[in-house]
């Protein structure tokens, strides 16, 4: 059952990268994450192996009674090997270290890959809803519903004054992290990005790379999320992030206009060179691909090129990641081989689209 | 008349870059140059304007009586504007500064662009024969014939002990410079090139870039020539250069084999990326083009790609130079515009070949 879901997932791009949804030229995806813990159990970092198993059992039983979690797959540590852990992390369905750090963990992923719930990560429950484009409210509605349903069955650790209690104090309160994956090539190329990040930080938001905390900014992809979980309601947090991201999208559009006014040839050249390299290279690292795809995305936004669509770019972004590539080929490969297979796959996908 | 020849020349690639001739995958062209001066006249640098004109008149009259110089065009300072000077220098028919440094100069170019004779450059006569591929002996035979014919009409400055006298002592003796334009990407990529250059220098040869003395090595193109003009006969010089270049060609082939054994993917990648960039870029500098064409030439040598031939590469090498590009478009352009037109032209030529 667990295996079957993973095989099915590998056949298609992650739904949250479908390239649909409002403002999807700039906002790749929206994400809501809620941290919850069950009363009367120690937080996972200090829970014994037995208690961790008991928590997972409790959850599995609870989830089976929840409408929104009826269609999906429940995994336990041991169900998922190294390659599939990487695969799920690349799809942003688990944190990179989740299954690797010892046992006693559980994971639920719904059939549409919209909802994923990590059990016994830092908190008992890390509920996540992911969706394509600028769709924070939609994600929040679904997360809120699932959260309510779980809360009806199990008693959350909740303090009248502080709100939801969590293993790490930075999550206490709403336990909410709302985040957006945003593509900002214009602001990077015009060197306005540092200013924008500074301004974002001052209003209580944080900015990170594609793969979360501590990762480099690759392909001009930024994750923007709320920093504080205390003192503001969920709606306030989401409204504020929505409003600020609308502003960032405006800045980005302005930057792209400036680029096209000041250096149209250079931008066009950058876009077409990137396409030429992706269409012809025989060896491509994952990082290089992310940067080249960024140029293609910019070209598409500016209507400088029409040989692919946002969906194709998003798909390439994910299927060229190491674990996805190995799932695609059906075996483990070293970096050298991956770089060659990656180049072949990209060439093929871009050529397929061109002919289609 | 002078103008007509230039217009005709601009329509076709330089014949010495036709990509024919022995070893033309490595040796682009062969060149023989003879320095001569006429007795009883001061060397050009110290000759008055009147004397320089008299020398040109003498030559023009002499050339008209020489069979091998019957078909061609005679130019005088003033016949050729700045753009056409650059154009001729790009075609290696004159030295870059030749027409620019004041007046009192003459130039003969035969219809096949095989023979060019600069008058009142450093010496009264600089006779050059250029040909495609490894063809030094052929060039020397023709140069020797023309030299003899001129010598029958005019009295050369000749010393029984030293040989032909020249303005600069480095040319005294035979006045001969034999040189080859060689493409050595394998030796550059394997980092053996410095060793090879050292060895070449020790046997009295010199190595320079594409555009002669003091120019950078671009596109892995090297000019190899004899350094000494004293104490060795012309045949000895040419035999020695031929023998050493055969050895260099062997080294280059060995280096290319090593590359294909040690890093075939990287080489294939380099070739195809270069092709992708040339096929898609919108802005290309002349220097970048030379380096990209070098990768394509390597790819063709190694049968890694078949989307063009050596003739096309040689043609692109020359028609993408600044003056050629301006001749092609029919007007003067600044660097920015040239870089765009260059990219357009290359894309078009490579696509034309692909479809042909």
Same domain as A238, residue A347: no
Chain B contact set for A266 (CB, 8 A): 283
Return the higher-pLDDT residue of A339 and A10.
A339
pTM of the model: 0.88
In whole angstroms, what is the distance from residue B79 CA to residue B62 CA?
20
Same domain as A209, residue A340: no
In whole angstroms, what is the distance from residue B76 CA to residue B97 CA?
15
Which residues, in sequence order, are CB contacts of B112 under 8 Å at separation 6+?
Answer: B15, B71
pLDDT at B204: 84
Same domain as B160, residue B25: yes
In whole angstroms, what is the distance from residue B101 CA to residue B88 CA?
15
Same domain as A275, residue A239: no
In whole angstroms, what is the distance from residue B25 CA to residue B30 CA?
13
Same domain as A127, residue A76: yes
Ranges of chain B whose pLDDT falls below 70: 1-4, 100-102, 210-216, 354-356
The three-state secondary structure class of B108 is strand
Same domain as A147, residue A204: yes
Is the per-residue pLDDT at A83 higher than 70?
yes
Same domain as A169, residue A148: yes
From B237, B255, B273, the end of a domain falls on: B255
| Contact in structure between B15 and B88 (CB atoms under 8 Å) | no
> Which of B84, B323, B96 is CA-nearest to residue B208?
B96
Alpha helices in B219-281 (DSSP H): 234-262, 264-280
Question: Closest chain A residue to B340 measured between Cα atoms?
Answer: A265
Give the pLDDT confidence of B315-346 residue by residue, as tens digits. Answer: 999 999 999 999 888 889 999 999 999 999 99
The answer to whether the Cα torsion of A290, A293, A299, A304 is positive or negative is: positive
Chain A contact set for B265 (CB, 8 A): 282-283, 336, 340
Give the pLDDT confidence of A193-234 residue by residue, as tens digits. Answer: 999 999 888 888 988 876 655 556 789 999 999 988 888 899
Give the pLDDT confidence of A262-279 residue by residue, as tens digits. Answer: 999 999 999 999 999 999
For chains A and B, count residue pairs whose Cβ atoms are closer than 8 Å.
54
* ipTM for the complex shown: 0.85
CATH of the domain at A196: 3.30.590.10
Same domain as B159, residue B183: yes
On whether any CB of chain B is under 8 Å from the CB of A281, the answer is: yes
Q: Chain centroid to CA B169: how far?
A: 23
Same domain as B347, residue B235: no
Task: Using CB atoms, pick whichever of A265, A275, A276 lies closest to residue B340.
Answer: A265
Tokens 């970096």 correspond to: A335
Q: Chain centroid to CA B16: how far?
A: 8
Same domain as B90, residue B11: yes
Q: Which one of B278, B280, B307 would you mutate to disrupt binding with A, by most A Cβ within 10 Å of its Cβ? A: B280
The distance in angstroms from the start CA to the end CA of chain A is: 35
From B232, B255, B278, the end of a domain falls on: B255
In whole angstroms, what is the distance from residue B328 CA to residue B319 CA?
8
Domain that holds residue A26: 2-255
Residue B246 is classified by DSSP as: H
From B255, B273, B300, the end of a domain falls on: B255
| Contact in structure between A151 and A159 (CB atoms under 8 Å) | no
> Which of A135, A139, A146 is CA-nearest to residue A36?
A146
The region, left, alpha or beta by phi > 0 then psi within -120 to 50, assigned to residue A260 is alpha
Same domain as B100, residue B142: yes
Residue B313 to chain A, least CA–CA distance (Å): 18
Chain A contact set for B275 (CB, 8 A): 276, 280
| Contact in structure between A238 and A142 (CB atoms under 8 Å) | no
Same domain as B214, residue B298: no
pLDDT at B24: 87
Rounded average pLDDT over A54-74: 94
In whole angstroms, what is the distance from residue B343 CA to residue B352 CA?
14
Domains of chain A: total: 2
Mean per-residue pLDDT over chain A, rounded: 91
Is the per-residue pLDDT at A76 higher than 80?
yes
Give the pLDDT confidence of B20-54 residue by residue, as tens digits. Answer: 888 888 999 999 999 999 999 999 989 999 999 99
């Amino acid at each position: 059952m667990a295996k079957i879901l993973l095989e099915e997932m590998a056949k298609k791009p992650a739904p949250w990268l479908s390239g649909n949804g409002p403002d999807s030229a700039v906002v790749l995806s929206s994400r809501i994450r809620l941290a919850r813990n069950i009363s009367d159990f120690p937080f996972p970092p200090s829970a014994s192996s037995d208690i961790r198993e008991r928590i997972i059992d409790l959850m599995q039983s609870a989830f089976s009674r929840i409408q929104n979690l009826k269609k999906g797959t429940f995994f336990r540590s041991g169900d998922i090997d190294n390659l599939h852990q990487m695969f799920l992390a690349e799809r942003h369905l688990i944190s990179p270290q989740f299954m690797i750090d010892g046992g006693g963990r559980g994971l639920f992923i719904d059939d549409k890959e919209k909802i994923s719930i990590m059990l016994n990560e830092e908190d008992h429950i890390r509920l996540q809803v992911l969706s394509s484009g600028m769709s924070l409210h939609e994600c929040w509605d679904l997360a809120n519903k699932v959260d309510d349903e779980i809360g009806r069955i199990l008693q959350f650790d909740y303090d009248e004054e502080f709100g939801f209690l969590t293993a790490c104090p930075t999550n206490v309160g709403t336990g909410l992290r709302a985040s957006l994956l945003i593509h900002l090539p214009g602001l990077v190329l015009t060197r306005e990005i540092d200013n924008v990040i500074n301004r974002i930080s001052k209003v209580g938001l944080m900015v990170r790379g594609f793969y979360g905390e501590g990762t480099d900014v690759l392909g001009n992809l930024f994750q923007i999320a709320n920093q504080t979980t205390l003192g503001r309601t969920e709606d306030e947090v989401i409204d504020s992030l929505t409003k600020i991201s609308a502003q960032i999208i405006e800045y980005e559009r302005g930057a792209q206009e400036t680029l096209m006014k000041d250096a149209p040839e250079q931008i066009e050249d950058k876009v077409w060179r990137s396409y030429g390299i992706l269409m012809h290279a025989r060896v491509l690292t994952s990082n290089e691909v992310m940067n080249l795809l960024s140029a293609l995305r910019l070209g598409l936004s500016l209507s400088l090129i029409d040989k692919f669509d946002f969906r194709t770019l998003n798909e390439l972004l994910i299927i060229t990641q190491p674990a996805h590539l190995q799932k695609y080929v059906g075996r483990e490969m070293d970096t050298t081989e991956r770089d060659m297979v990656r180049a072949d796959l990209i060439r093929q996908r871009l050529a397929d689209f061109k002919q289609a």
